[in-house]
Amino acid sequence: MFRVLNIARVTPVFVFPLMEDRNKYDGDNLNRKPKKEINTGYDRLKEMYTRNEYLEASVELYNVVQATFTGAFIGACMGGFVRSREAYLYFIENNQATIFTSTMEAKKKLQDYVTVAFAKGATYWGWRLALFTGIFSLVSTTISVYRGETSVIEYTVAGAITGGLYRANLGLAATCVGAGLGGVLSSFGGLAIVLLLKITGVTMEDIRRALHTIKEAREDQFNQAVEKAATIKNDDLTIQHDLLVQEKGEKKIEDI
């Protein structure tokens, strides 16, 4: 039986008090059993990388995956648009004297050239930004979960590791430069995030769980739509059977 959507689950249940800590997040919104008391960083990491009883990934890993796909989408759009614009200008500049049989053929050649360039740019930047974002998000989230808090440290370390790996193919010197630059830039970004969290009184755990709640609400809506569209479930015989069950109640096989 599909779960009935509760309107309260659609909207994140946290507020933004200024310069105050918010109340603890209500774990019941995830429709899961209360978590056992976790005292060590190892226990928190074990829970992060362990599936629950429904074989679902943890809230932290779900957000890492979402960040990776978001990076891939942004990278594909950015690379595709830039490459297609360059291809358009290059085609116009280098085919001024080209003889085409018709205007339609010229437009088709231009469209094909721009489309191929868009695909190449999207592929070139999509997987790179996805890999960069995925490693950064995974490292920073892992450190944050292990420490049990959010600070600038995890962003600095994640930026240094990601920057070093991104330039590792260019040699040791490029790796060190990439790690240093990534660490510095990530420190500024982490500092801005930490300050914003302090001002609003919200933690990263609150944001992760709110996003997970929205995801579950979206799944509930989808399940309800599938349930309503099921012709077998909503035929006359099944409806009559459900009414009889409601009137007389359910019986276990052992009691029959």
HSE (CB half, 13 Å, CA atoms) of 172? Answer: 0
Residue 246 in domain: no
**Model pTM above 0.75:** no
Residue 167 lies in a domain: no
Per-residue pLDDT reduced to its tens digit, 34-89: 445 556 778 888 888 888 777 777 888 888 888 899 999 999 999 999 999 999 89
Token readout for 161 is 């590791």
Domain-located, residue 75? yes
* Residue 14 domain-assigned (yes or no): no
Nearest residue to 211 (alpha-carbon basis) of 5, 29, 1: 29
Q: Tell me the residue range of the domain where 112 lies.
A: 23-149
Residue 37 lies in a domain: yes
Number of domains in the chain: 1
For 102, half-sphere exposure in the C-beta direction (CA atoms, 13 angstrom radius) is 3
Answer whether residue 5 is part of any domain. Answer: no
At 178-219, the pLDDT tens digits run 899 988 988 898 888 889 888 888 877 788 788 778 878 888
**27 within a domain of the structure (yes/no):** yes
Q: Is residue 44 part of a domain?
A: yes
